[in-house]
Amino acid sequence: MHIPDGFISPQTYLPAYALAGIAWVWAARSLREQLDEQTVPKLAAMTALAYGLGLVMVPMPGGTSGHALGVAMLTLLFGVRLAFLSYSLVLMLQSLLFGAGGITALAINALAMGLAGALVSALVFRALRRLGDTAAVAAAAWSSVMLPALIVALVLGLQPSIAHGENGVPLFFPFGFSIVLPAVLIPHAMIGIGEAVLTLFVWRFARMRRWSLA
């Protein structure tokens, strides 16, 4: 799901960096109060797990790939702000060390996967918890994959209309919504099922260890 360099126009990634900067400042507020000697090692372990998951690429139609996120896992254990910051760090390291996602697209990837994924997983979990933790966690994890996938697809599909030459030829990503939306959303609906299973496993592990959950 990472957007690489060269796919996104400056008209898109520059405003995205401005918005992401505001979001990072918001997420970092009261950071010292959120982190203590018990939370830090647990957060580090779960962030490392999310980092590893993002490097396991699942082949998708059209020569691209997708992957599990782990952002719902981070959100349900540590809250939206820490999940967003942790996943932003994951994306930056993956980009710098492995070329998984571009630096120009980092803000978009962070907003889509880190912030939107965290927010939707928290909201879905709270809305469905009355149905039981299993259903709520699974739905939250699946949603944390699908909303970012939708945002990424919309951003990519928008590129031909906002960044093209005088002859109408796209300067960056060349495919519109009719191609991008099904190509991204359908495979990620299946990836979301795997995400739900993994998140449930981690959630139950944390409950068994009596972690203080967000």
Amino acid identity, residue 139?
A
- pTM of structure: 0.90
pLDDT of residue 51: 85
SS3 content of the chain, % helix, strand, coil (to 5): 70, 5, 25
pLDDT of residue 61: 57
Domains in the chain, please, with CATH? 10-208 (1.10.1760.20)
pLDDT of residue 66: 64
pLDDT of residue 34: 78
Q: Which stretches in the chain have pLDDT values below 50?
A: none
Taking only the tens place, the pLDDT of each residue in 103-162 is 999 999 999 999 999 999 999 999 999 999 999 999 999 999 999 999 999 999 999 999
pLDDT of residue 213: 64
Cα–Cα distance measured from residue 148 to residue 73, given in angstroms and rounded to the nearest whole number? 15
Cα–Cα distance measured from residue 187 to residue 90, given in angstroms and rounded to the nearest whole number? 22
pLDDT of residue 193: 92
With tokens 């109408």, the residue in question is 168
Q: Which residues pair with 58 in a beta bridge?
A: 66
